[in-house]
Amino acid sequence: MNTCLERLYNGIVKENPTFVLMLGMCPTLAVTTSAINGLGMGLSTTAVLVLSNMLISMLRKIIPDSLRIPAFIVIVASFVTIVDFLLEGFIPSLYAALGLYIPLIVVNCIILGRAESYASKNPVLPSVFDGLGMGLGFTIGLTSIGMLRELIGSGKLFDHQLIPVADMASGQSGYVPVTIFILAPGAFLVLAGLVALQNRVKRMAARKGKKTAEPVSCGENCASCAGCSGSIFPVENKEKEEK
Amino acid sequence: MLSENKLKMSSSPHIREKITSGNIMLMVVIALLPASGFGIYNFGLPALIMLISTTLSAVLTEYIYEKLMHKKITINDFSAVVTGLLIGLNMPPTAPWWMGALGSVFGILVVKQLFGGLGQNFMNPALAARCFLLISFTGQMTSFVYDGMTGPTPLAMLKNGEVVDSMKMLIGTIPGTIGETSVVAIIIGAVFLILMGVIDLRIPGTYIATFIIFIGIFGHFQNPDVGFFDPQYITAHLCGGGLMLGAWFMATDYVTSPITKKGQLVYGVLLGILTGLFRLFGGSAEGVSYAIIIGNLFVPLIERVTLPKPFGKGGEK
């Protein structure tokens, strides 16, 4: 059970896919125009991630090594299709808002990355929790970006008017929304701001002597980066070495 | 003092030039004064408040950021003043003062300081701030009130195929942003900069020439009533909108324009074509800011292509 909790913590904090691993940037930047969209996208990805991790972990001894990528894709695509239909049937408004990005979960690098680096080498239960942790980390990332963008860009939060907005025509004073934040450039600004903030928090914690997340394999010093030699997920490599 | 200058013991290169970035920026500020003065005369108190607000917030942002980050305080090199003043000159006088201040904070903090301060910014902070505001507050940034009336700018009228008064546009008694309306005031500043050797004609010259050729040819296709190279139409396009301010003061920014001579010509031509494209075939009437910003992004490429070959290295490929 300890591994399971460790996996959850790993996905949500230590290797948060949005803020630390910087994976799945395409949906992160594109669909986070509002908190609800971010939450919906995050939860859909989580569902696919948990299910595909589970199935891939079950089949890990059957899938031949040379054919693993196509096999993973088939499994992931099946689950994405299910999620796609479920969303279309039960939450059509969210389905309309997310649009093309639901089918695109198939090629989301978080899902394929977890399948490749964790689920295909580990037992079922830890794989499920790995998927859950990563998925929740992704959901938290997308939702917080969405919340900030929605709040600054339209004064709303979860579609609820939090700050009264000024009306030019009737001369009513109030908050003037900074529209750029719900447009594409706002996604980059908010993401960069949040990443900077969490780096700062981690550095402060490290200074106080608390043990925090290990830096990614390259030491996070991107100036001297010569390209990661395939070891994007350092924890798994360590585990391999121990074995 | 004199004895110090007589004999210098140091390894080369020996820099004898007295020009510093502070001197140059100060001259740009002086050159912008006629345009600012006319803007205040033309639009009154709101223009003055806007200019003070943008300049002050730009300098303050730079100071606070450098203080917090324990960096060298660079506010006395006037570069933040220039950025703030340019943002103010690019604002419509009717916009609230805090909007300009927000633009200044964005321009200095995000575009300039986060990329490493003066000399490191990849695009013109003033124009990036203007585009930030233009996208965020489209309504307020494109509504121009003149003499108590909300009227279209000459460019918007041109776009709708109406006739405009070129003489008024030359002097500047037209609606527009604070600093762009008076061509005469801008030219006075530009001539001062050229005489002082701060800018040369390469970028603005090719920019404006290319723009004239582009507008002269394609203006006819866009609006069949206008003949090829119709002088009235071309003057209106030159004097209306931000072309003059952009060409003389923003396209010539040292940091975001090519340093090679050939590159500067390429850059000017690129800006002319882009501005013409945006103005004639784009969605809005104005296109100078976007043209210069996109041009800024091409500067590293242009410099790479136009880098002169050192003597003796020509032959091999």
Out of A73-77, B9-13, B38-42, B264-268, least confident range: B9-13
Torsion of CA B244, B250, B256, B258, to 10 degrees: 30
How confident is residue B8, by pLDDT bands cut at 50, 70 and 90? low
pLDDT > 70: what percent of chain B? 92
Specify burial of residue B229 (Cβ count, 10 A radius: 0-12, 13-18, 19+): middle
Name the residue range of residue B164's domain: 21-306
The mean pLDDT of chain A is 81
Distance (Å, whole) CA A46 – CA A42 = 6
| Closest chain A residue to B110, measured at CA | A189
Rounded Cα–Cα distance for residues B36 and B33 (Å): 5
Closest residue in A to B111 (Cα) is A189
Mutate which: B105, B136, B145, vs A, most A CBs within 10 A: B136
User: CATH code at B180?
Assistant: 1.10.3430
Greater pLDDT, B84 or A173 = B84
**Residue of chain B whose alpha carbon sits nearest to that of A196:** B114
pLDDT tens, residue by residue, B212-239: 999 888 888 877 777 777 788 888 888 8
Q: Which residue of A has its CA nearest to B134?
A: A180
Quick one: how far is CA A217 from the chain centroid? 20
Nearest to B88 by CA among B131, B123, B53, B59: B53
What is the pLDDT at residue B6? 63
pLDDT score recorded for residue B5: 60
Helix A35-58 and helix A68-90: axis angle, to 10°? 140
Per-residue pLDDT for A216 more than 70? no
pLDDT above 60 (res A213): no
Alpha-carbon distance of B249 to B243, in angstroms, equals 10
Examine residue B134 and state whether it is found in any structural domain, yes or no.
yes
Considering the domain boundaries, does residue B259 fall inside one? yes
Q: Cis ω on the peptide bond leading into residue B231 (within 30° of 0)? A: no
Closest chain B C-alpha to A74 CA, distance in angstroms: 41
Cβ-contact A136, A129 below 8 angstroms: no
Assign A219 a pLDDT band (cuts: 50, 70, 90).
very low
Token pair of A226, please?
């010569």
CA separation (Å) from B48 to B27, B33, B93, B103, B187? 21, 12, 9, 16, 21
Chain A residues within 8 A of B132 when measuring between CB atoms: 180, 185
Token pair, residue A16, equals 């948060």
- Partners of A176 on chain B (C-beta within 8 Å) are 99, 137, 140
Domain ranges of chain A: 2-212, 215-243
Within 13 Å and on the Cβ side, how many CA atoms surround B308?
9
- What totals of helices (H) and strands (E) does chain A contain, helices first? 9, 2
Instruction: Give the residue among B54, B42, B41 at the shortest CA–CA distance from B90.
Output: B54
Count of other CB atoms within 10 angstroms of residue A57: 23
**pTM exceeds cut of 0.90:** no
Contact A178 B136 (CB under 8 A): yes
Interface contacts (A, B; CB < 8 Å)? 20
Per-residue model confidence (pLDDT) at position A211: 54
Residues for chain B: how many in total? Answer: 317
Q: Is B85 among the domain residues? A: yes
Residue B224, both tokens: 């069949």
Q: Which residue of A has its CA nearest to B106?
A: A189
Instruction: Look at residue B265 in the predicted model and tell me its pLDDT.
Output: 92
Distance CA B233, CA B241 (A): 13
Q: Give A220 or B47, the one with higher predicted confidence.
A: B47
Whether the predicted pLDDT of A39 surpasses 60: yes
Among the partner-chain residues A168, A176, A183, the one whose CB lies closest to the CB of B135 is A183
Query: Percentage of chain A with pLDDT > 70?
Result: 82
The rounded distance, in Å, linking the Cα atoms of B125 and B112 is 6
Residues in chain B closer than 8 A to A186 (CB atoms): none
Could you tell me which chain B residue has the CA closest to the CA of A178? B136
Is-contact B88 B100, C-beta < 8 A? yes
Which residues 189-208 in chain A show a CB within 8 A of chain B?
Answer: 189
For residue A2, the model assigns a pLDDT of 80
Instruction: Specify the pLDDT at position A167.
Output: 66
Q: What confidence tens digit (pLDDT) does each residue in B179-224 have?
A: 888 888 999 999 999 998 888 888 999 999 999 999 888 888 877 7
ipTM > 0.85, yes or no: no
Spatial distance between the Cα atoms of A130 and A133, rounded to a whole number of angstroms: 5
Chain A residues in contact with B136 by the CB 8 A cut-off are 178-181
pLDDT tens for each residue of B92-148: 888 888 899 999 999 999 999 988 888 888 889 999 999 999 888 887 787 777 766
Alpha helices in B223-260 (DSSP H): 231-239, 243-245
Helices (H), strands (E): how many in chain B?
15, 2
Q: Report residue B1's pLDDT band, with 50, 70 and 90 as the boundaries.
A: very low
Question: Does residue B233 fall inside a structural domain?
Answer: yes
Residues from B contacting A (CB-CB < 8 Å) are: 99, 102, 110, 132, 135-140
Q: Report pLDDT for A239.
A: 45
Residues of chain B with pLDDT > 90: what percent? 32
Total domain count, chain B? 1
- How large is the C-alpha radius of gyration of chain A? 20
Which chain B residues touch A183 with a CB distance below 8 Å?
135
Q: Taking CB atoms and an 8 Å limit, are A178 and B140 in contact across chains?
A: no
Residue of A171 and B98 predicted with greater confidence: B98
CB–CB of A176 and B138 under 8 A? no
Angle of the B288-306 helix axis to the B125-136 helix axis, nearest 10: 140
E-only strand ranges, chain B: 145-146, 149-150
A223 part of contact set with chain B, CB < 8 Å: no
Q: Residue A200: its pLDDT value, please?
A: 87
When the pLDDT of each residue in chain B is averaged and rounded to a whole number, the result is: 85
Query: Which residues in chain B have their CB less than 8 angstroms from residue A180's CB?
Result: 132, 135-136
